[in-house]
Amino acid sequence: MALLSSDNIKRIDLAGRVILTRVGLKISDENALMRLKSAGADVDFANKRVRFHGEWLDEMLRKAPNQFNLYSRDGKNDLRLGTGQVYFGNGGRVFRVLDMATQGFRRTLLRDVADTAGLTNVLNNVSFYIIACQAHDVDLPSYHLNDFFYAFNNTTKHVMGGCDTLDGLKQMWDLACFIAGGKDKFRERPFVSIITNPISPLTLDSTSLQIIEFCVLNGIPLACAPAPIAGATGPATLAGTLAQMHAEALAAVAISQAFSPGACVMYGAVPSAMDLRTMDLAMGSVETAMMNACAVSLAKIYGLPIYASAGVTDAKVPDIQSGFEKGVSCLLVAMAGADYIHLAAGMLDSGNSISYEQFVIDNEILGMVYRILDGVDVDANTLAVELVERVGPGGNYVTEEHTIQHMYRQFFYPALSVRKNFDVWEKDERPTPLTRANDFVHKWRQEHQPVLDPEQVLLIKERFAGIVNL
């Protein structure tokens, strides 16, 4: 069952385009307005409004690549966006972390950036790392130098993050080029990308525009992801929020192409909902999941790779709620065919907290989702009619060669789910996925090492004096 018929996909698309024509985006940045004007956009300087008319919009959208790669540093986890492959990663910049030992919460530190990057590096279903949390112990002048350095130092997977200022982005870029061995080398295989966000409804602030411009001109891949909240910063109808989000997302892609044709940018989608009983954010709501799945259909009209969201929960701790909210949303958005799904690992509390254990649990949920995406392979060998005939009524298949031949690939073998015999479970002190995740994290902490070569780290620290020691 598709959430949207093809007619309704077209109607939402059309509504979004009408919004772009009639309302447009509010942009106050003079430089951006000038650039967009010279690229042919309809710019109303007096009212700081940019409108995107059909033909010009389509011309810009056609320049955006339908396929591009986000690279890992070791080549083992390159993300081939636009090929139909679904990738999951964590999400960014929470300020609180659950400490399992005390069952308490504390503010996140730079150490947590390093550790979440390191943990993500060993979780096989998490394909990229987004700077997971804020480093409350790092001062502004060299903030992004530090959070990106400690990400790079602990994972070889593709790193993505937000930058608060243009200066912060430049710190990150200098560092990335140094690690890559030069600007050209970086452009060839960009192993870091940047997240920016329009402000819903329909506003793009100066800093975001400066960051977008710097990224597209320097070959840094980009997502500019609107995050309307249905009932608050978007209409209370799912279709209405989708139409507005679609307008914002298309505008962001068009602007990036106006700045630099062919720039690698994803269609961004972080729609969510509000619980209108209380005005609590409902990131884990089923409607959030539904809108993200629908957004995939909207992005695919234009053949754009999509940066979508799934796996957020409003639960405060890893529990039953986090399990079902994450399970439902990750599956729904993955089955819709999203290219790049963020927020899908480690997050709790509507995207305000993380838990190390939750990263490990989510990795398992994602394993199940990937198994579903693999589908059911049907051929003469898997149908096994001859085997059924040979084993015959009353026999069993346990020791058949066919069983051994297929057992690794046919089944997903969970690491955390408890399938033990009841008595064994009691004897083993009643393990749960959470206790097992906690054991995993403990073991990982004892074993994990930074991924950058220590000599390279010395060179980096010599070149970038602002990097603090952990």
Task: Report the interface residues with another protein, using CB under 8 A.
Answer: 396, 398-400, 403-404, 407, 421-424
Distance of closest approach, residue 412 Cβ to another protein, in angstroms = 14
Residue number, 399 or 449, with CB nearest to another protein: 399
Contact 150, 159 (CB under 8 A): no
- In the complex with another protein, the residue whose CB is nearer, 260 or 417, is 417
At closest approach, how far in Å is the CB of 368 from another protein?
A: 19
For the bound state, the minimum distance from the C-beta of residue 430 to another protein, rounded and expressed in Å, comes to: 14
Helices 238-259 and 286-301: crossing angle, nearest 10°? Answer: 40
Smallest distance, another protein to C-beta of residue 434, A: 21
Nearest approach, Cβ of residue 423 and another protein (Å):
4
Q: Cα–Cα distance between 412 and 295 in angstroms, integer?
A: 29
How far, in whole angstroms, is CA 325 from its chain's centroid?
Answer: 17
Write the CB contacts of 128 (distance below 8 Å, at least 6 apart in sequence). 70, 77, 79, 87, 89, 157, 158, 159, 160, 340, 342
Alpha-carbon distance 421 to 130, whole Å?
39
Using the Cα atoms of residue 132, residue 96, residue 345 and residue 198 in order, give the sign of their dihedral.
Answer: negative
Question: Do residues 140 and 166 lie in contact, with contact meaning Cβ atoms separated by under 8 Å?
Answer: no
Q: Residue 456 is encoded by which pair of tokens?
A: 């390279």
Asked if 71 contacts 129 with a C-beta cutoff of 8 angstroms, the reply is no
Quick one: DSSP state of residue 392?
-
CA distance 188 to 183: 9
Give me the least distance between CB of 414 and another protein, in Å please.
13
- CA neighbor of 225 nearest in space, from 158, 168, 305, 128: 305
Tell the smallest beta-carbon distance from residue 166 to another protein (Å). Answer: 51
* DSSP letter (8 states) at residue 263: -
Shortest CB 429 distance to another protein, Å: 15
Nearer to another protein, 320 or 398 (CB): 398
Q: Compare residues 278 and 396 and give the one whose CB is closer to another protein.
A: 396
Residue whose entry in the numeric block shows the structure tokens 């996925």: 433
- The answer to whether 179 and 60 have CB atoms below 8 angstroms apart is no
> How do strand 222-224 and strand 192-196 relate by DSSP bridges?
parallel
Q: What phi and psi values does residue 450 have, to the nearest 5 degrees?
A: -60, 155
Cβ proximity to another protein: between 136 and 427 the closer is 427
- CB-nearer residue toward another protein: 392 or 454: 392
Yes or no: say if 248 and 208 are a contact pair by the CB < 8 Å rule: no
Residue 380 or 398: the one with the smaller Cβ distance to another protein is 398
Q: How far is the CB of 364 from another protein (least distance, A)?
A: 16
Q: Which residue's CB is nearer to another protein, number 240 or number 431? A: 431
Minimum CB distance to another protein smaller for 181 or for 422: 422
Residue 355 phi/psi, 5-degree rounding, is -145, 135
Answer whether 339's CB lies under 8 Å from 306's CB.
yes
- Least Å distance between CB 397 and another protein? 8
- Nearest Cα to Cα of residue 48 among 155, 246, 202: 202
CB of 395 to another protein, least distance (A): 10
> Which C-beta is closer to another protein: that of 26 or that of 406?
406
**Measured from the CB atom, is 375 or 394 closer to another protein?**
394
Closest C-alpha to 93, from 129, 143, 134, 128? 134
